[in-house]
Structure 1
C-alpha cells in the first residue's frame, strides 16, 4: 500500500517542474490528484499521461472564481479533498530599486494571494477529511536576503507566516487539518533554468540517488518526497512547521574555511 493510499489531492502549478513532480509521486503512492495550472495545454497533457487517477482543471490561483471552480471540480471528480499543495509560483528578477510596483503586485498575487485563496477555498472540503493537510511551498528566500528576487522573497515570507497562522487556527477550532511549509533552495526546474539564463537548454542531469555536492541544485523529486511524507498520516504530529530542503544551505556559514 502506498503512503497516501486513498487520499485526494489538489496541486497548483502542476503542469511542470515541482508541481508535476509532486503530483506524479502522490499518484505513485496511491493518491488521486487534480492537477491545476494556468497552462491548459501542458496541464492536460500531464494529467493524461498520469492516467485514471489524475485529472486537470485550469486555475489562475489569483482568481477567487477559478479557485471556487477548481474546488468544485475536485469534489465532483474524486468526491472530496485531503491534501492541498500550494505550489504555483513565478519569479521576476528585480532588486528593491528596480522592482516595479506592477512586478511586485503580480508576484504577490500568485504566491501570496494565491496561497491565501487556496487555503480559504479548500478548507470546507479539508474539514471533512480525517487527516487533512495543507502543504505550502515557500523557499529559503523567506530566511535569507536575496536582493535580485525582492518580490519573490516578500511573497515567500508571507507564505511562511500564513502557514503558521492557519495551522494554529485549525488547532484552536478543532479542525482535522494540518498546515506546513516547505522551504527549498535551488531545484532544477524550468523556472530556475530561466532565471539562470538556461531556459532554452535541456535540464541538467542531476543524480537521483546518493549525496549531492555542496553547490549542486536539487531535482524536483527531492521536494516531492517531502510532499508525500507531509501528506501522509505519518506526519500527523507535524503542523505549523517549516521543512528545509536545501542541501545544507541555511546551515552553511558564509565564511567557512575550505
Structure 2
C-alpha cells in the first residue's frame, strides 16, 4: 500500500522546486494533492504533469481570504484535508544597514504570516476530523545564523518556534506539527545560476556530505513526517542539510577536507 493512500494534501510553493518535488512524490504515494502557488501557469503545468487527482489552486499565502477559499475548496472537492505542507517562501540577501522595513515586512509576511495562516485554516478542518499533519518548511538558517540573511534567518527561526507552539496547541486534537530544515538545495532559489557538477558543489566543502541537496531529498523527508510512519513524531525539527548544521570544520585539525584554507 502506498504511504499516503487515501490522504488529501495541500502543498504551497508547489509550482517548482521543493514544492513541486513534494507534490509529485505525494501523488506517487497515493495522495490527492492540491498544488498552490502565485505562479499560475507553472503551477497548472506541474499539476497537469502529475495528473490523476492533482489540481492547482492559486494562492498568495499572505492573503487570509485566499487561504480560507483554498482550504474550503479542497474539502469541497475531496471531502477532507489530511496534510498541509507550508513550503512557500522567499529569500532576501542584504546587509542590515541597507535593509528597508518594507523588505523585512515582505519576507516575514510570506515566510511567517503565510505559514501561520495556513496552519490556522488547516487546523479548523483537521480539528473536526480529529487528526492531521502540518509540515512547515524552515531552513538550516532556522537552526543557526548567517550574515547577509538577517530577515530570512529571523523568519525561519520564527517558523521553527511557531511550529513547536502549534505542536502543543494542536496535539490534543490529533494534529501533528513538525519542521523540515533544508540546507542548500538545487532549485531556482538555491542555485539561481543553474550550475552543475563540480561548479555547483565547489562551494559546499563546508557541508559534511560535500554537495548540495536535491529537491527530491527534501521531499522524501517531508513524506516521512507526513506519513503514518511518523505517527508519534510532533514538535520535531528534522535537518535535511547534508550535516551542515552539525557543526563546522576547523581546517588546521585532522579530518577536514583536503584543500580547505585555514
Q: TM-score, normalised by structure 1?
A: 0.91
Shift of 1:214: 3.0
5+ residue gaps, structure 1: 207-211
Do the aligned partners of 1:99 and 1:150 also contact (CA within 8 Å) in 2?
no
Do the aligned partners of 1:131 and 1:233 also contact (CA within 8 Å) in 2?
no
Do the aligned partners of 1:71 and 1:121 also contact (CA within 8 Å) in 2?
yes
* CA distance, structure 2, for counterparts of residue 129 and residue 13 of structure 1: 25
Do the aligned partners of 2:208 and 2:244 also contact (CA within 8 Å) in 1?
no
* CA distance, structure 2, for counterparts of residue 138 and residue 77 of structure 1: 29
Do the aligned partners of 1:9 and 1:85 also contact (CA within 8 Å) in 2?
yes
* CA distance, structure 2, for counterparts of residue 20 and residue 3 of structure 1: 18
The SS at the match of 2:178 is: strand
* CA distance, structure 1, for counterparts of residue 52 and residue 209 of structure 2: 39
- Who is 1:215 aligned against? 210
- Who is 1:209 aligned against? none
- Who is 2:223 aligned against? 228
Please, which of 176, 186, 189 is the counterpart of residue 188 of structure 1?
A: 186
Aligned residues: 247
After TM superposition, what 4+ stretches of structure 1 lie above 4 angstroms from structure 2?
202-206
- Who is 2:151 aligned against? 151
Shift of 1:252: 3.2
Please tell me whether residue 102 in structure 1 is matched to residue 102 in structure 2.
Answer: yes
* CA distance, structure 2, for counterparts of residue 18 and residue 190 of structure 1: 10
Q: Classify 1:204/1:9 alpha carbon distance in 2 versus 1 (closer, same or farther; 3 Å).
A: farther
Which aligned pairs between 1:100-249 and structure 2 lie closer than 5 A? 100-129=100-129, 131-171=131-171, 174-194=172-192, 198=193, 201=194, 214-249=209-244
Shift of 1:98: 1.7
Please tell me whether residue 77 in structure 1 is matched to residue 77 in structure 2.
Answer: yes
Instruction: Give the aligned CA root-mean-square deviation in angstroms.
Output: 1.9
The SS at the match of 2:244 is: coil
* CA distance, structure 2, for counterparts of residue 97 and residue 245 of structure 1: 31
Deviations 1:30-69 (A, max 9, x none): 1010000001110011111111220110000000111011
* CA distance, structure 2, for counterparts of residue 202 and residue 145 of structure 1: 25
Shift of 1:144: 1.7
- Who is 2:60 aligned against? 60
- Who is 1:51 aligned against? 51
Q: Which structure has the larger Rg?
A: 2
Q: TM-score, normalised by structure 2?
A: 0.90
- Who is 2:246 aligned against? 251
The SS at the match of 2:176 is: strand
* CA distance, structure 2, for counterparts of residue 253 and residue 190 of structure 1: 26
Do the aligned partners of 1:57 and 1:73 also contact (CA within 8 Å) in 2?
no
